[in-house]
Amino acid sequence: MPQSKAGRVAFEPLLLGLRRIPELHGVARDGDSLRIGALVTMTELMESALVRAHCPILVEAADQFASDQVRNVATIGGNVCNASPAGDTLVPLLALDAEVELVAKPNGLLTGRRVPIGEFFKGPGKTLRARHEIVAALRVPIGVPGRFMRFFKLGSRPALDISAISIGVCARRDAGVLSEVRVAFGAVAPVPLRGRATEAALEGRQLTEAVIETAAAAARDEVHPIDDFRASAWYRREMVHNMLKKVLADAT
Ligand SMILES: Cc1cc2nc3c(=O)[nH]c(=O)nc-3n(C[C@H](O)[C@H](O)[C@H](O)COP(=O)(O)OP(=O)(O)OC[C@H]3O[C@@H](n4cnc5c(N)ncnc54)[C@H](O)[C@@H]3O)c2cc1C
């Protein structure tokens, strides 16, 4: 509604309602993955025992999403298709190595494909999704139990605000040594970003003060935010540095 009222999005002559497609609802375990239906709302994410057990970082993101009213209707599929660089579930999904499940029915035949979420976003509001496809689900690999996961969102107020920056971290920790480290950032580039240099600074290391500082500095260097009415590029870089330090310090 805000986008159409601002004139950025025109209503299509044909609208398609997805709500009654059962395959787009619910969270289920499918082998080594969780299949989260595209129509799962933020409230349902927070209440799902499977999501809470295997992807608590998504629960954290949903908990900080807008307000109760918006959480009750906003779906994870809509958040992904909206492709805002500040979309709150995109950062955890990147940190979790999720895949986007797309389906289409050209010529009456149902076809599907899966795209790694890191390849799905092409720019603000732009994705790899073809016009005739819908997002059916998000698939999240179930990693080893007890991984460290954290989502951090910075806005100008605690409720009903879009992220000025957001950070997602997911890692294994064996005897204090980090492995399979995934770090993602939101609102600091045209698309949600994997922090490859930050990950390299953490992989295989103990979380000492020096390692945390090196990783936070790498994060500040690899994001490329813009100035806008929410925050300046300089402020965003500094907050990425400072807040990643806080997230990692919490992990110790
Ligand atoms: C007041 C307000 C507060 C908000 N706060 C936040 C916030 O805190 N964090 C945040 O990340 N976002 C926020 N948003 C943005 C928005 O609500 C979310 O992106 C939400 O997740 C969108 O989900 P939806 O189901 O409402 O999608 P819709 O708005 O219905 O759809 C978004 C777009 O994706 C398409 N689409 C939806 N589902 C599918 C599908 N399964 N397959 C193919 N295309 C699809 C639609 O056609 C449309 O173009 C806010 C919006 C408002 C109005």
Give the closest residue to 138 by CA, choosing from 20, 27, 54: 27
- pLDDT of 8 reads 85
What's the 191 CA to ligand 1 centre distance in angstroms?
Answer: 16
Alpha-carbon dihedral angle through residues 12, 88, 56, 140, given to the nearest 10 degrees:
50
Residues 100 and 211 in one domain: no
Ligand 1 proximity of 17 Cβ (cutoff 6 Å): no
- pLDDT of 29 reads 97
Ligand 1 proximity of 127 Cβ (cutoff 6 Å): no
Q: Among 90, 123, 141, give the residue marking a domain's end.
A: 141
Which residues on neighbouring strands pair with residue 114, listed in sequence order?
101
- pLDDT of 251 reads 87
Give pairs for 195-198: CB < 8 Å, separation 24+. 195/219, 195/222, 195/223, 196/222, 197/221, 197/222, 198/222, 198/244
What's the 148 CA to ligand 1 centre distance in angstroms?
Answer: 28
Ligand 1 proximity of 134 Cβ (cutoff 6 Å): yes
Residue nearest to atom 4 of ligand 1 (CA): 66
Q: Among 112, 141, 170, give the residue marking a domain's end.
A: 141
- pLDDT of 2 reads 82
Ligand 1 proximity of 100 Cβ (cutoff 6 Å): no
Domain that holds residue 238: 148-251
Ligand 1 proximity of 74 Cβ (cutoff 6 Å): yes
The residue ranges of the chain whose pLDDT is under 70 are: none
**Cα 42–Cα 147–Cα 249 angle in degrees, nearest 5:** 95
- pLDDT of 183 reads 98
- pLDDT of 3 reads 84
Residues 110 and 206 in one domain: no
- pLDDT of 112 reads 97
**pLDDT per position as a tens digit, 236-248:** 999 999 999 999 9
**pLDDT per position as a tens digit, 102-136:** 999 988 899 999 999 999 999 999 999 999 999 99
Ligand 1 proximity of 64 Cβ (cutoff 6 Å): no
Give pairs for 42-47: CB < 8 Å, separation 24+. 42/66, 42/70, 42/71, 42/72, 42/74, 42/76, 42/89, 43/68, 43/71, 43/72, 45/76, 45/89, 46/71
- pLDDT of 92 reads 98
What's the 155 CA to ligand 1 centre distance in angstroms?
Answer: 18
Question: What CATH number does residue 180 fall under?
Answer: 3.30.390.50
- pLDDT of 16 reads 87
Residues 78 and 128 in one domain: yes
Residue 15, both tokens: 């609208």
- pLDDT of 156 reads 84
